[in-house]
Amino acid sequence: MSITKRQEEILEHLNEHTFLTVERIAELTYTSPSSIRRDLTKLQNLSLIKRTHGGASIFNAINQAIPLNSRMSKNISEKRQIAKKAAALLHDGQSVMLDGSTTAGFLVPYIAKHKDMIVFTNNMLTAMNAVNYGIATHCIGGFSVDQSAVLSGAQAYRTIAELHPDILFFASKSLSRNGVISDPVSEENYIRSLMLENAKFSVFLCDSEKFDSESLYGLTTLDKIDVCVFDKPFPELKTKCKIIL
């Protein structure tokens, strides 16, 4: 999950242009082509881009079979901003559950600043990043959802049912102005519902691109969540939930 600022910039350029040559990326980032090639190799290993002859393409523009892995390349600055705000809810000695979302994954560096923390997650990339930060980490098992790093299934359900974490950080695809949280992926939606049942405290992370939208599968409403964290205000939103901006 951990990528450099320059690699974030590369993803932003690819999201804007779909395909770029190595030379053009080097020009845009004021970096040597050899360094760019190393960056592209790492991003491809994370399933965020596809290397092509002489350049690279963003994954969601060329391979719709892997939509979940491409999320990490979306709204990176907003997700970092949300994670920084949500980190105010962390303290030493917590058991923290992070759902499969990339937004929740950006909390890992902040969790690492505290002592005696335990992380539970069903995202393999988030788990690997937490391990690299030296955090006691448990990866919730299961099968890969849509060929992504997110795990679900019976094994994951059984594990989550036995856990009662101090705090849960989660995200979803959509938030309506009536406070309904929803997602287009049924497996991810269901596993989040199990996490919400057992967590002692729940935090919803949502960037403004998801405001005023609805997806196929309803999860819950903001009124049933303890805190929500946004990057921008949502004036039309109707909720009693505490909002951190």
Same domain, 121 and 22: no
Q: What is the DSSP letter of 117?
A: -
Same domain, 44 and 136: no
Answer with the one of 17, 40, 72 that is the final residue of a domain.
Answer: 72
Instruction: Convert the pLDDT of each residue in 87-124 to its tens digit.
Output: 999 999 999 999 999 899 999 999 999 999 999 999 99
What is the predicted pLDDT for the residue at 62?
Answer: 35
Q: Tokens 């242009």 correspond to what residue?
A: 17
CATH for 29 = 1.10.10.10
Reported pTM: 0.74
Q: Tokens 């002489």 correspond to what residue?
A: 54
Share of the chain above pLDDT 70, in %: 92
**pLDDT at residue 245 is higher than 70:** yes
What are the φ/ψ torsions at residue 45 (nearest 5 degrees)? -65, -25
Instruction: Convert the pLDDT of each residue in 10-27 to its tens digit.
Output: 888 887 777 889 999 999
What is the predicted pLDDT for the residue at 63?
Answer: 35
Same domain, 33 and 122: no
Same domain, 42 and 91: no
Answer with the one of 72, 90, 117 that is the final residue of a domain.
Answer: 72
Give DSSP secondary structure letters for 179-190: -EEEES-HHHHH
**pLDDT at residue 64 is higher than 50:** no
What is the predicted pLDDT for the residue at 65?
Answer: 33
Q: Which domain holds residue 40?
A: 5-72
Question: Six-digit token pair at 192?
Answer: 């989040």
What is the predicted pLDDT for the residue at 69?
Answer: 47
Same domain, 36 and 84: no
Answer with the one of 22, 49, 72 that is the final residue of a domain.
Answer: 72
Same domain, 85 and 62: no
Number of domains in the chain: 2
